[in-house]
Homo-oligomer: A and B are copies of this chain.
Amino acid sequence: MKKVAIYGASGYVGGELLRLLVTHKEVEIVAATSRRHAGQALTDVHPNLRGFTDLTFSNDTPQDVAGISDLVFFALPHCQSMALAAGIVGKTRIIDLAADFRLKNPETFMAAYKIEHANPGLISEFEYGMPETNMAALRHARNVANPGCFPTGALLALWPLAKAGLLKGETVVDSKTGSSGSGAEPSVGAHHPERAHDFRAYKIFAHQHQSEIEQGLGMAAGGNCPSRLTFVAHSAPMVRGIFTTAYAFLPREMEKGGVEALYREFYKGAPFVRIVPQSRSASVQGTNFCDIAIEQSGDRVVVTSAIDNLVKGAAGTAVQNMNILFGLDERAGLFTPGYHP
C-alpha cells in the first residue's frame, strides 16, 4: 500500500484526485492540504465524497507531507509549486499538476506565464507526463510534470501526424472548454448567469498553453514545432470537457483511411485512447478516456478529440502517471465507463 499526499486538495483538480484515490485499491491518502479549509472535513468542500473518507484538510508544509508519503501531488494554481517543490525534490516523488515544470526552456516559461521561473535548475528533474507519447521515459522517472488540459486534447489529436512528418505550413487548433477549467473560485467569467448560454473565445494569440502545444509537437517531430500553430481557446456553456478540432494540411495527399490507420497503429497500446467514428465530450465525462475521430479529404485532415478536462486533462492522467511510477497497471483505479446520458 503506497502512501500519497495531495498538496492543494480543495480545488476541483484536488477534488478529482481525491475522488479517484479514495477507491484506488493500491494507495492510501495520508494528507490533503488546504490553507483556507484547514481543519474542515474534506466532505464539507467535496460533498460527493461523503461516505468515502473521514479525512480533514491539513495545513501541512511540503516538507511535512514529503516526510510521510511515497508521492505528493501538487494541485495548486500555476507558479506556486516551482518554489514549494524545491525543498522536497529527491525526498519523495512529485507529480505536479500545474504548469511550473512543463516547459523545458525557462524563457519560454517566462514568456507564457509572465513570471521568472523560481528554480530553472529543477525543470530537468521532471518528465513530461503524457503516458501515451512518453511512456518509456515515465517508467524511469521520479517526478512528473502533468500536461495541461488544452495541450492534452491538442497533442493527442496531432502527435501521430507530427511524428510521421505530416504536419507542415499552418496548423489550426480550435479548442472548447467547460467551466470547471476555471477552477473552484467564483469569477465573472464562470458566473452561472453569464456562462450558461454563452459561447466566446478568449486570449486569442495570447494563451499560455500555446507554447506547451508547440513544445509537444516538436517532441513528436524530433526537433522544433514542424508547423506554425494558431491556437484559439473558447469557453463553452458546459461544466466538463474539452473538445478540440485540429486542422492539419499534409505535405501530400494520403490515400483514404491512411491517416486513421496511422492513429490506430500509434495508439494500439494506449488503453485510454479510443479511435471513434465521432468524438463527443459527453461520452468521456468523468473518465480518463480521450476519444479521437479522424476525417480526411485529400491533403487535409480534421482530427477531433474529446476529453474530460479535470480527468484526462488533469487528475486522471496524474493518477495514470502515479500508477506508472509505482509500477502498477496504468489502468488501476481509472478504468471505468462514463455515463450515458
Contacts and interface: CB of A to CB of B under 8 A. Distances in A.
Interface of A: 12, 15, 19, 22-23, 46-52, 169-170, 172, 174, 176, 178-180, 182, 184, 186-188, 190-202, 204-205, 230, 232, 234, 236-241, 243, 245, 247, 249, 271, 274, 276, 278-287, 289, 291, 293, 295, 297, 300, 302, 304, 306, 335-341
Contacts of A176: 176, 199, 234, 236
Contact of A302 (B195, B200, B230, B238): B230
A276 B340 contact: no
A47 B193 contact: no
B238 A49 contact: no
A237 B234 contact: no
Given A47-B280, A51-B289, A283-B48, A193 B230 contact: no
Contacts of A293: 201
A193 B337 contact: no
A243 B199 contact: yes
A116 to B, nearest CB: 25
A239 B192 CA distance: 7
Contacts of A243: 199-201, 234
Nearest to A300: B230
Given A245-B234, A283-B47, A337-B23, A278 B195 contact: no
A297 to B, nearest CB: 4
B280 A337 contact: no
B180 A337 contact: no
A12 B195 contact: no
